Amino acid sequence: MHAAVFLDRDNTLIENDADLGDPARVRLVEGVGPPLGRLRDAGYLLVVVTNQGGVARGRFREADVEAVNRRVARALDDAARRCRLVERFYYCPYHPQATISRYRRDHPWRKPNPGMLLAAAQDLGLDLARSWLIGDQPRDIQAGRAAGCATILLGDEPVSNGKTAKTLREAVGIILGSG
């Protein structure tokens, strides 16, 4: 079984404080390519797990999320000088306060629920106990823990209950230093 590193997308891999449905506006966070390449070299599968409640709020469509994800994949490949650096993208379009009724529910895939990680484990044959999650929000960390993964919260503030790192590069250093 493979170990994975689950990666949040917005403000972990790309700069995005708002709803992003336009692939032309994809901007990678500075310096994320090479460290992700090192994780692949170490044998980790990279899996992106992203809440996209903008779909539920009618800001953009699922097809737009998929277009953005394809652009993110290509930008990461370019930055890391790899091919298919990211194994797979999972996104959750549901939101409990959706304006579009078919998306209005607290779906098991919506972080802090661990559904996207559990689905990836099933699809890709992952060993969750040897896997990690990196994200910039507490709900990312909750999802990782609920799936049985080790977690690293990105940010400037140290927290008492868990590992933190200021940058993705630093987080990757923690993961590669842990084995």
Q: Which is nearer to Mg ion, 11 or 167 (CB)?
A: 11
Contact segment (CB under 5 A) with Mg ion among 26-34, 75-83, 115-123, 136-144 equals 136-144
Least separation, in Å, of the C-beta of 136 and Mg ion? 4
Backbone angles phi, psi at 18, to 5 degrees: -125, -175
Residue 68 sits in the site that holds Mg ion (CB under 5 A):
no
DSSP secondary structure letter of residue 128 = G
Write the interaction track for Mg ion spanning residues 7-26; mark x where CB under 5 A is met and - where it is not: -x-xx---------------
Q: Which is nearer to Mg ion, 2 or 11 (CB)?
A: 11
Backbone angles phi, psi at 20, to 5 degrees: -125, 110
CB 124 within 8 A of CB 45: yes
Q: How many residues bind Mg ion (CB under 5 A)?
A: 4
Q: Which is nearer to Mg ion, 2 or 59 (CB)?
A: 59
DSSP secondary structure letter of residue 83 = S
Residue 142 sits in the site that holds Mg ion (CB under 5 A):
no
- Between the alpha carbon of residue 99 and those of residues 56, 93, 95, the distances in Å are 6, 12, 9
Contact segment (CB under 5 A) with Mg ion among 2-10, 108-116, 120-128, 153-161 equals 2-10
User: Burial level of 52, CB count in 10 A (0-12/13-18/19+)?
Assistant: buried
Least separation, in Å, of the C-beta of 7 and Mg ion? 10
User: Burial level of 177, CB count in 10 A (0-12/13-18/19+)?
Assistant: exposed
Question: Residue from 59, 136, 139, 148 that binds Mg ion (CB under 5 A)?
Answer: 136
Binding site for Mg ion (CB under 5 A): 8, 10-11, 136
Active site members: 8, 10
